[in-house]
Amino acid sequence: MTLEEQNMATPKHERLRAYLLKELGAGRLKPGDSLPTELALATTADVSRNTVRQALAGLERSGLIRRVRGCGTFVHESAMERMKSGLDIFALMIPDTRSGFYPSLQRGFQEASMAGHNQVIVCNTDNDPLRQADSLLQLMDKKIAGVAIVPTTRPATPAHQLRPLHEHGIPIVFCHRRVEEIHAPLVSFSALEVGRLAGRAVLEKGHKRAAFFAFERAGLSGQYERGFGEAMATGGGELPVEFICYDDAPRVTLEHERFLKVNLEKMLRGPNPPTAIFSPFDSETELIYLLLNQLGVKVPEQVSLVSFGGTWREGALTRRLSAVTVDEEELGRNAVTLLDQMRRREKPLNDATEIIMPLSWAEGETLGPVPAKGTFA
């Protein structure tokens, strides 16, 4: 065996891996066959043993070979079936690919997948369950190796959309939130703690009356609100019911902008206006910031703003926001690790692993001390 016919610009371990895949495809290596030892492969291919280990590790990640300690390395019994499937493709399904922390989640997922020699398909569901269902059917048709998904919330993703994946042996990893009745790993963060941290940050600056704005009551919004309200109450502050504002809008639209403006004006012109606002979405908080400026309200001199988003703060306005943050890139990398472990049968499809990501704080410029009384008089 030689590697001279391979593209010499390709790393040696990739050339060896491609050669072994060719042998499998041609039937010269069959399920159950024992592979030569690392030393034998290194000698025959004229490469180092480390190169052989890298090539075999790639095949093992793909589930094509299995190593038995003390016995050797064997072609996996289902190797041929896996070669005919999309065993090198991981899919990421998210409600949005352009805003919030989703670009960071996508980047981390793609980087980790590429490091494991996996292709990636990214599906933007636009938080539409019908669009999500159609994408899932197409992914199953491609026989992909696994799916990481941030389930839709309007309405909530039904279990029957995901159950066929498990029936076809395709791993699922939930990101951010679960789907009831589907048992699979979850990589997320504590939305309650996000709200609590936001509340504590507001209280530390002396704010006692705060408002809460969110797109919708679905998903994690209720937990953000609850955590924020609990923190305010514990610290002697309050989150009045009339200052809790949901639009049930799926995204930022002109109608949503008008909704925010009307409610901001109503709150701030009241006898006891809030001095701080928490919105758990960067895109929403950015819009509130701009609307406050249109209304002639200074941030943070008159009203403070606190947001929630990814640790990667891209954009001039996003960087200015004081915010609780989570490392979405690492969240995406963890999702890939779990998918890979289930694909290789190191974990069962119904694995109960939960990875809760730590939270941090981005100082920003939108949280200041409580303003003097009569600011809006």
226 and 236 fall within a common domain:
yes
Which pLDDT score, from 0 to 100, does residue 3 have?
Answer: 42
Is there a domain that residue 145 lies in? yes
Task: Name the token pair of 332.
Answer: 């995406």
Please list the residues that pair with 94 across neighbouring strands: 124
Among candidate residues 33, 66, 82, the one where a domain is terminated: 82
Which pLDDT score, from 0 to 100, does residue 110 have?
Answer: 94
Distance CA 305, CA 292 (A): 10
Task: Name the token pair of 183.
Answer: 């048992």
Residue 163, H or E segment = helix 159-167
With residues binned 3-state (H G I as helix, E B as strand, rest as coil), the percentages for the chain, rounded to 5, are 40, 20, 40
Domain range for 294: 191-327
Which pLDDT score, from 0 to 100, does residue 4 have?
Answer: 46
185 and 332 fall within a common domain:
yes
307 and 254 fall within a common domain:
yes
Please say whether the beta carbons of 253 and 215 come within 8 A: no
Which pLDDT score, from 0 to 100, does residue 118 have?
Answer: 80
- SS3 call for 224: helix
Distance CA 211, CA 219 (A): 19
119 and 140 fall within a common domain:
yes
Please say whether the beta carbons of 6 and 19 come within 8 A: yes
Is there a domain that residue 134 lies in? yes
Divide the 377 residues of the chain into consecutive groups of 10 and give the mean pLDDT of each group: 48 81 81 89 89 85 80 82 66 88 92 84 92 93 90 90 93 96 97 98 97 86 96 97 85 83 94 96 93 96 96 89 97 96 88 96 96 64
Distance CA 113, CA 119 (A): 7
239 and 309 fall within a common domain:
yes
353 and 288 fall within a common domain:
no
216 and 178 fall within a common domain:
no
> φ and ψ at 124, to 5 degrees?
-95, 110
* Residues 187, 188, 189: CA angle, nearest 5 degrees: 150
> φ and ψ at 359, to 5 degrees?
-110, 155
Which pLDDT score, from 0 to 100, does residue 377 have?
Answer: 45
Among candidate residues 82, 116, 144, the one where a domain is terminated: 82
CATH number for the domain spanning 139: value is 3.40.50.2300
Is there a domain that residue 114 lies in? yes
**Residues contacting 19, CB < 8 A, separation 6+:** 1, 3, 6, 45
Is there a domain that residue 254 lies in? yes
Supply the DSSP symbol for 242.
G
Which pLDDT score, from 0 to 100, does residue 183 have?
Answer: 97
* Residues 259, 264, 269: CA angle, nearest 5 degrees: 135
Which pLDDT score, from 0 to 100, does residue 81 have?
Answer: 64
Is there a domain that residue 316 lies in? yes
Is there a domain that residue 286 lies in? yes
- Give how many domains the chain has, as a whole number: 3
Among candidate residues 50, 82, 114, the one where a domain is terminated: 82
Q: Could you tell me which of 90, 186, 92, 106 has the C-alpha nearest to residue 145? A: 90
- SS3 call for 128: coil
Which pLDDT score, from 0 to 100, does residue 2 have?
Answer: 46
50 and 98 fall within a common domain:
no
Is there a domain that residue 232 lies in? yes
- SS3 call for 68: strand
150 and 195 fall within a common domain:
no
Supply the DSSP symbol for 158.
P
Which pLDDT score, from 0 to 100, does residue 197 have?
Answer: 98
CATH number for the domain spanning 51: value is 1.10.10.10
71 and 139 fall within a common domain:
no
**Strand (E) positions, 227-368?**
244-246, 276-278, 304-310, 322-326, 354-356, 359-362
167 and 197 fall within a common domain:
no
**Cis link prior to 300 (omega < 30° from 0)?**
yes
Is there a domain that residue 337 lies in? yes
Q: How many CA atoms lie within 13 A of 78 on its CB side?
A: 10
309 and 197 fall within a common domain:
yes
The per-residue DSSP string of 166-225 comes to: HHTT--EEEESS--TT----EEE--HHHHHHHHHHHHHHTT--BEEEEES-STTTHHHHH
Distance CA 364, CA 362 (A): 6
